[in-house]
Amino acid sequence: MSWLANTAPGYLPFTYLESLFAVLKQSPRVRFRTFADLVFDLEQPLATPKALKTAYKAEYKAWKKEVAAKEEPVIDIILMHDCDSGPKQTVHLCEYQVANGVVSTTSLFTRTMVEGVPRPYPIDYDRLLVTQAQGNCFAYHCNAYQTAGFDPSKVEAHFNADMAALRERGFSINHFSPHGGPACPDGRRNNSFFYPAFAPKALIWTHNRYEPIGNHYSDGGLAPRLARGDITVDLQYRLMKAMALNTRFFILLHPQYYFSETPDRAKEIFAASPWVKAFWQWHEKGQPERYWEPLREHLANVGHHSLWYKTRHKLWQGYNFIKALKPLKS
């Protein structure tokens, strides 16, 4: 898989994801879902952040009703990917997933900035379309503010052009996520605009400012978080902390992080993030699934969340709701 290795060495090999998916699949409780499985009224436009929040609440209510009616409790896993700097890695991951009974939602660029100039994004859209027919969901990874040269008057036109380009290729695009990207001189970024207001029908914001209700994990900013020993980037830790029956977990993974062939770069952060060292040790023994043994045991004995956990989680959701209501610059 050397042709998939990034020019800059990463921190984890692809077996990290392979073994994670295998362990999750072994649990009869786990369902892999995509954003296409979430019940939103896609005919109603979302002109304001309040309307989007109302849509999130209605979808969550419908999800809770659906799982409550099931004979057996479930744990829903919604895998998400931002293509970013890993077009080849993104295609490989999407193809691997559908070939192994896993589905995901992947956000795609149509163009990216190369030396300050917008260029077509070099990804194999045709191969991704095949995985859409096999159950994967695709969204637009919005970098319209960047490609518009940080000109607010051009953002809507660039956004709509990118959406149209993806749909013309055959993608069913009803969701999007803003790309992080650099800030312009006045501090605005790609997520500083309320893009759903540009769409004639509902356009669901998946993450990076607004997100559906549930538990959320992101490996964004992986390198500095590993270097400072941020335990919240340890996915096994996060899953075991939050996973319970009749819950769901949105997991955002950037594919380019998971194609390292050697632990050379990772050794720099072994002391700060020893779980990375632990995974590499199992990988080098040819037994990567053994790393996930605590998660496997947790899944075998998982129960419902306690009242204390639910109360604390509601308080945290309330804090994030208030934070997200800060006025958007336009």
What digits encode the pLDDT tens for the residues 295-314?
Answer: 999 999 998 754 444 455 45
Q: Please state, for a pLDDT cut of 70, what percent of the chain lies above it.
A: 89
Token pair 């999800």 in the structure block, residue: 63
What the block records as the tokens of 109 is 């660029």
- Write the burial class of residue 266 (CB in 10 Å: 0-12 exposed, 13-18 middle, 19+ buried): buried
SS3 216: strand
Strand partners, 253: 81
Higher per-residue confidence, 14 vs 180: 14
Question: In terms of residues, how long is the chain?
Answer: 330
Q: Please state, for a pLDDT cut of 90, what percent of the chain lies above it.
A: 84
Contact 73, 115 (CB under 8 A): no
Digit-coded pLDDT (tens) for 116-152: 899 999 999 999 999 999 999 999 999 999 999 999 9
Digit-coded pLDDT (tens) for 83-100: 999 999 999 999 999 999
Nearest to 288 by CA among 42, 99, 20: 20
Per-chain mean pLDDT for the chain:
91
Q: Which amino acid is located at 28 in the chain?
A: P
DSSP letters for 29-48: TEEEE-GGGS---TTS---S
pLDDT of 322 above 90: no
**CA-CA distance, 304 to 244, in Å (whole number)?**
5
Nearest to 60 by CA among 190, 215, 261: 215
For the whole model, what pTM was predicted? 0.90
Nearest to 119 by CA among 156, 87, 91: 87
What pLDDT was estimated at residue 10? 80
Q: Which amino acid is located at 286 in the chain?
A: G
What pLDDT was estimated at residue 39? 96
**CA-CA distance, 22 to 289, in Å (whole number)?**
8
Mean pLDDT of 225-254: 97
Contact 88, 3 (CB under 8 A): yes
Strand partners, 33: 78
What pLDDT was estimated at residue 308? 43
**CA-CA distance, 235 to 252, in Å (whole number)?**
10
Beta pairing class for 204-205 and 30-33: unpaired
What pLDDT was estimated at residue 329? 45
pLDDT of 246 above 60: yes
Helices (H), the chain: 15-26, 49-68, 87-99, 125-133, 144-147, 155-168, 222-227, 235-242, 274-284, 293-301, 307-324
